[in-house]
Structure 1
């Protein structure tokens, strides 16, 4: 009995108790001891195999993973990909990174991140864009933190290249659509004027036709200018001037601006805030632009709806994020295009530029936030701005 309990105390289950000699009850007791030892050895072996299996998988993937104690900073597990992304040798405590690079330490280990957000770090004079996710967990009354990093530089470059190709294709198509009729009409006018100069009696100018042709050229030129301005508007916003803003003040300004025109259209516009003291760190002018854009989209969606209603609300989520929602009871967004609405220049409207929602998304990215869409065709749409 003493030997068995001692083996348990020191986690040594290699001892074998004699089952073939001695009194019968002792042999039965030894059989029980041996069965327990073998079972624990099998459990430990399975756990070890599972741990090695998991460890090999995590070592092979190109996603960087580190887990460390929040209290001491000691590393409990780290894979090669994490060290490769940070361009660092093996280290046992996160303070090593702090001594090596204060900026990387603050960005990766200290800053608060929304899971799935992007960060930029500079290693060996090269900037790298990474996707970061974090999680906290507890073991034996000690708190740990898990950080996962994924290099998205190549993915971004590929997506950017594809986006540019699509953008150039769309721009070329739109510009050619404008230039071709302008060029053709100009050539026709030039030929008619030349004939008139050579023989005005035989080829008299019809001033009415001349006016209509010039007017057509002007309209197409204005259309081309409008397209160019829309494109420029998509690219000009690169920084924000963020301050703590009371959401109620933001809502009041938009309400005063839009409610009269929406009331004349028979659309009920409402603003609701759970907490009147709710503040969000934002660029008020840009977020106002986003909300006006979303509300006007809702207006278009509600045109043919009985008792059209648009509700703009704000609250704080259980996770601590500030959320502004724009909800309407309009026609909704068809399933086949809901994934395309943020693509630049994509529009389901006949006169839409396809710039508005792309601009909204870019502004939310600059706020380190995101924009989410939930829509049911013929029932309505909910768009969430998550800060």
Structure 2
């Protein structure tokens, strides 16, 4: 018989158990009916086991429910029906607990998804790793920056740059450093910042990685432009009146020349000639300095680019035609290659032509004296879909010390160089939304890489 009340079931089970015990005692004392005695004993054992199983069934359901909460398994529910009002209240209380836990879990999952979305879409590379170098998290920006879709350990970054793993793992919490590396021909100036925190009793290091090369170049170029503006302004203000006065004195001396000749005084004539020569020298050097300053002012007065789509192959053809005569005089072989042939670029063709002419002249100077001087211009679309132009030469190459200064205004290794060619080229590339880098091995050659 099934009883719907837990208390009533317990009372009845205890009552029948007591009656069975009493009957068993009476039979033992007053009767020799051993079969009946044996039957009553079996019934008594069954009642005890049944009572224990009845109580343990309820406890087992409670235990399973609490275990489900412990392991966040909210697919189960606590439901014991037909055992009275006290269990109905307990059932409702546990149901409320389940609903609260579901709500909290849902909120946490939403927060986790929100944070994941922010981490994956932020523009700064983030990498979290344990003390042994095992990577716990690597966001999309870091994958794009390092050009690695997946990394399991920090040590695997040796394939990117030999010093990168050690630099990252040696950083202490709150420290930051910079590292210059090349990735697929792109020069990067990485700013690396580190912080640490504990998660599940394990120390995790979180590093942020950002390529600050463009910001550094922009700041450097702005600083040079300000300096050039000040210098050219002061020099022009000082030299212009000197040049003007020298011209005036020269004109006066030319007007007085017939009179000096009439005097027929040799010493006076020599003095006149010395003064005239000195004035001409002053005027010539003043005008030369004015032209020099005017050339540097071009760094601060570049016009806005006129963007249009054009063929890379046609641009190469035009530039090569302009340089052909010089190449023939120096016996330089120049090859142009475009992959694919119909490759096009949206930029200012006149500005880009100016850059290429400057780079080809530098390359021609670099291969001068080589037994088989060669220059190659190559246009292609790189693995990121960006249009790239390479200018290669087999010259003597450039030392690392000089490479650090190659884009600095006024710096030149040529006797008759002005030091503005590569500086101007880099500034034009920034106006064209591109970049210019140089890779060189001393004694092997140099490659200039333009990326748009």
Give the TM-score of the pair, scaled to structure 2.
0.48
Equivalenced residues, count: 266
Counterpart CA distance in 2 for 1:272 and 1:373 is 19
C-alpha deviation, 1:164, in angstroms? 3.4
* Aligned position for 1:291: 356
* Aligned position for 1:323: 388
Counterpart CA distance in 1 for 2:415 and 2:237 is 17
Q: For residue 401 of structure 2, give the secondary structure of its aligned residue in structure 1.
A: coil
Counterpart CA distance in 2 for 1:232 and 1:212 is 30
Give the conservation status (yes or no) of the 8 Å contact 1:268–1:309: yes
* Aligned position for 2:305: 240
Richer in helix (by share): 2
Q: 2:318 aligns with which of 220, 243, 253?
A: 253
* Aligned position for 2:295: 230
Q: 2:72 aligns with which of 7, 10, 26?
A: 10
C-alpha deviation, 1:373, in angstroms? 0.6
Task: Tell me the alpha carbon deviations over residues 87-128 of structure 1, each in whole angstroms, 9 at most, x when there is no partner.
Answer: xxxxxxxxxxxxxxxxxxxxxxxxxxx97xxxxxxxxxxxxx
Counterpart CA distance in 2 for 1:159 and 1:256 is 32
Q: List aligned pairs for 1:34-45, cutoff 5 A.
A: none
Give the conservation status (yes or no) of the 8 Å contact 1:332–1:377: yes
Q: List aligned pairs for 1:40-59, cutoff 5 A.
A: none
C-alpha deviation, 1:225, in angstroms? 2.6
Counterpart CA distance in 1 for 2:294 and 2:337 is 35
Q: List aligned pairs for 1:1-387, cutoff 5 A.
A: 2-3=64-65, 6-7=68-69, 10=72, 69=117, 160-161=222-223, 164-165=226-227, 168=230, 201=265, 203-206=267-270, 209=274, 212-387=277-452
Counterpart CA distance in 2 for 1:175 and 1:337 is 33
Counterpart CA distance in 1 for 2:281 and 2:401 is 36
Counterpart CA distance in 1 for 2:388 and 2:230 is 35
C-alpha deviation, 1:332, in angstroms? 1.6
**Which 10-residue stretch deviates more, 157-166 or 204-213?**
157-166
Q: In structure 1, list runs of 5 or more residues that go unmatched.
A: 13-47, 49-65, 70-74, 80-113, 116-132, 134-145
Give the TM-score of the pair, scaled to structure 1.
0.55
Q: In structure 2, list runs of 5 or more residues that go unmatched.
A: 1-62, 75-107, 109-113, 123-143, 146-190, 192-207
Counterpart CA distance in 1 for 2:217 and 2:273 is 57
Give the conservation status (yes or no) of the 8 Å contact 2:228–2:297: no
Counterpart CA distance in 2 for 1:268 and 1:77 is 49
Q: 1:260 to 1:155 in 2, by over 3 A?
A: closer
C-alpha deviation, 1:338, in angstroms? 1.0
Give the conservation status (yes or no) of the 8 Å contact 1:266–1:308: yes
C-alpha deviation, 1:222, in angstroms? 3.3
Counterpart CA distance in 2 for 1:169 and 1:237 is 18
Counterpart CA distance in 2 for 1:11 and 1:304 is 79
Task: Tell me the alpha carbon deviations over residues 101-158 of structure 1, each in whole angstroms, 9 at most, x when there is no partner.
Answer: xxxxxxxxxxxxx97xxxxxxxxxxxxxxxxx9xxxxxxxxxxxx99899x9999779
Q: 1:329 to 1:224 in 2, by over 3 A?
A: same
**Which 10-residue stretch deviates more, 255-264 or 350-359?**
255-264
Counterpart CA distance in 1 for 2:244 and 2:442 is 40
Give the conservation status (yes or no) of the 8 Å contact 1:67–1:147: no
**What is the Cα-based RMSD across aligned positions, in Å?**
4.8
Q: 1:174 to 1:301 in 2, by over 3 A?
A: farther
* Aligned position for 1:101: none
Task: Tell me the alpha carbon deviations over residues 293-327 of structure 1, each in whole angstroms, 9 at most, x when there is no partner.
Answer: 00001111111212111101011111111110001
Q: For residue 400 of structure 2, give the secondary structure of its aligned residue in structure 1.
A: coil
Counterpart CA distance in 2 for 1:311 and 1:337 is 22
Give the conservation status (yes or no) of the 8 Å contact 1:178–1:223: no
Counterpart CA distance in 2 for 1:228 and 1:189 is 25
